[in-house]
Structure 1
Amino acid sequence: MQAIVFDGKTKEVKYVRNHPMPEIVEDHQVIVKVAYSGICGTDLHIIQGEFPVRQEPILTLGHEFSGVVHEAGKQAFLKKGQRVVVDPNSQCLLCEYCRKGRYQFCAAKKNIGIWVDGGWAQFVVVPQDNVYPIPDEVSLEQASLCEPYSCVAHGFDRVSPVSVADRVLVLGAGIIGNLWLTTLHLHGHRNVTVSEMNKARLDIVRNLNLGYKLVTPDVLESEKSHYDVIIDCTGVPRVLETSFDLVKPGGKYVVFGCAPQGKKASITPFDIFNKGLTVIGVKVNPFTFPTSIGWLSTMGDRYLDYKKLGIKTYSLEQYEQAFADLKSGSISKAMFKIE
């Protein structure tokens, strides 16, 4: 089968035409024939050596994907031909965090596309516990956004309640910024400002027709406006440093973008105390896949149109072009469409 593989030791990525076909070795597993598989910012961090990942053997990346059940184990409730999405995150169910319902902190290294083979391939074998059927009204194309939307759903839960009267600032208009913006709009928020240095990405937001205020960081800095909620989707430590003082007293700052491991940012602790601020870190998607699927069912083409979101599709063989386009900022997201 075709696949894109990653060597954790050399950080080499390559396309393989004849990668071994996965096999079911446990009765609760299923093989998914992948339809769409996204490139996440975390994947780029992994390739650049900035995020922990399995070192060996060779790994197939990809933790955001939709597809169809190709084969099901003897104890699987799923049936061949069912349209599904896959939650890549797993847990041991035994540690302190799992037993408190916080499996995002579980140390078990089972995450699909990071510690075990993922969806940058034509087929992938996964535990049925990680697989969710999708409703008829959600296409496989739309369903490929389920995992990143599930992370947004976790962030939305953590920052809530947010009044529709609150002023909200979203930093970064890559795909995660855009998914946050569509989520806020879906929930009635209209007093939203978007800051993005890449004007092509601001044009993508403009095409979403959300009616939000769009600015570049220099304009944001010159205006010195203040916000009830700030959501950082950039993962750039310097952005946190320059935007932290824009939070109103009593406000919330959401650290959503994944910064390179080990990078530091300087803030003033007195401001957190004096302004009574809430700083919220958001890690993956504990128990939010059902919410994400519900959002996709409701959003439809109004919010989930690939072209409006700035998503471009590529074959697996075109992975180098996909990486280049992402890094240039000409698109918000690259998605493998796998035949």
Structure 2
Amino acid sequence: MQAIQFSLNEKKLELVKKDIPSFSDNEVLIKVAYAGICGTDLHIVQGAFPCNGVSPFILGHEFSGILEAKGRNVKWLQIGDRVAVDPNRSCNICNYCREGNVNYCKNGGINNTLGIVRDGGWAEYVSVPSDEVYKLPDCITLEQAVLLEPLSCIAHAWSKIMPIRPGQKVLVLGAGIIGNLFACVLHSQGHRDVIVSEPVGSRRNLLNNLDTGFECVTPAKLKLKNNLFDVIIDTTGYAPAVEEAIYLLDFGGKVCLFGCANPEAKISIPAFDITAKEIQLFGVFLNPLSFTKAVGLMKSMGQRYFDFEKLGIKTYSLSNYKEALATLKDGTISKAVFRI
């Protein structure tokens, strides 16, 4: 089979031929249909995000496909089922897991993720534990389902920053795929007083394609507007942008730090402002127990919000991976997806 493999030691990303993976009694074999390229993947390739440093591995933690084969102990899934996969696994033994905070798990979580530590979905086939598999309802296509993993992370963020009351002012930093998906969720939930800040013109145009009516402005224009916001959602991970945005926060405001920042990046916030304005800071990490919530969101929001063209998503073959990564980096699209 074809696969895109990464070696951290060699800093090498390449298209390779590999055997179709085997699977255990509790695992399934999935024929991959769609696999997304996440900003985290770009950080991994740049050596700026922790990943498997022991041996080369197949990237891709966002993917959907068809169940091709299954282990003898897998009873609840059938050959031919349309599925999506939660790439994160927990040990279910440590105190974090037993308290429901599986994203903190030292044995699971980010330390055992498909496409980051274990072989992932940038391949024609992938074997995964059956308890990480979700059968898709008929109303969700395989194409749409590739967005369930990022949507599950957004669902986790949503649960942390709620409630957002009707009429509150919301600022979203970044109009990449995560910023666009946040905009879609906000719009679907009835919020209309939303501004998106994005420096890249092509991405501002992509946000406008969603027909939410949300204003999308440059960071410079945002400063001139002199608005104060009740909720700020950062999807960029860019520390200077977050610092500037926090000064736009109103009393009692909330900041959601969603974007994946460089581990060395620092944010400076006046301590007095945190107390005097009662600012609430929320960090968001992974998607603990929120994949089912993402499925529910996608079912309720439907094609109106998950149209690839409107979202600015472009599909590529595995063999065109260099073009896919380059186009994503230059900002002319919001997301690249492998169609396999």
Q: TM-score range by the shorter chain?
A: over 0.9
Q: Deviations over 1:133-164 (max 9, x none)?
A: 00011100001100000000000000000012
C-alpha displacement of 1:325: 0.4
Letter in 1 for 2:200: N
Q: Deviations over 1:11-60 (max 9, x none)?
A: 210011x2121001x21100111000000001111111111100132100
Q: Say whether 1:32 aligns with 2:16.
A: no
> Match of 1:69?
67
% identical equivalent positions? 48
> Match of 1:297?
299
Q: Distance in 2 between matches of 1:222 and 1:189?
A: 23
Q: Say whether 1:148 aligns with 2:150.
A: yes
> Match of 2:97?
98
> Match of 2:121?
119
Q: Distance in 1 between matches of 2:302 and 2:231?
A: 27
Out of 256, 263, 267, which is 1:261 matched to? 263
> Match of 1:330?
332
Moved more, 127-136 or 260-269: 260-269
Letter in 2 for 1:314: Y
The alignment yields a C-alpha RMSD, in angstroms, of 0.8
Moved more, 81-90 or 256-265: 256-265
> Match of 1:180?
182
C-alpha displacement of 1:2: 0.5
Q: Deviations over 1:288-324 (max 9, x none)?
A: 1111111111222210010000000000000000111
* Secondary structure of 1:272 counterpart: helix
* Secondary structure of 2:61 counterpart: coil
Aligned ranges 1:45-64 → 2 under 5 Å = 45-64=43-62
Q: Distance in 2 between matches of 1:185 and 1:10?
A: 44
Moved over 2 A (4+): none
Q: Distance in 2 between matches of 1:194 and 1:135?
A: 32
Letter in 2 for 1:12: K
Q: Distance in 1 between matches of 2:33 and 2:65?
A: 5
> Match of 1:226?
228
Q: Distance in 1 between matches of 2:147 and 2:306?
A: 9
> Match of 1:208?
210
Q: Distance in 2 between matches of 1:319 and 1:269?
A: 45
Unpaired runs of 5+ residues, structure 2, are none
Q: Count residues with an aligned counterpart.
A: 336
Q: Distance in 1 between matches of 2:78 and 2:317?
A: 27
TM-score, normalised to structure 2, is 0.98
Q: Deviations over 1:241-294 (max 9, x none)?
A: 111111101010000000011211211111111100100001111111111111
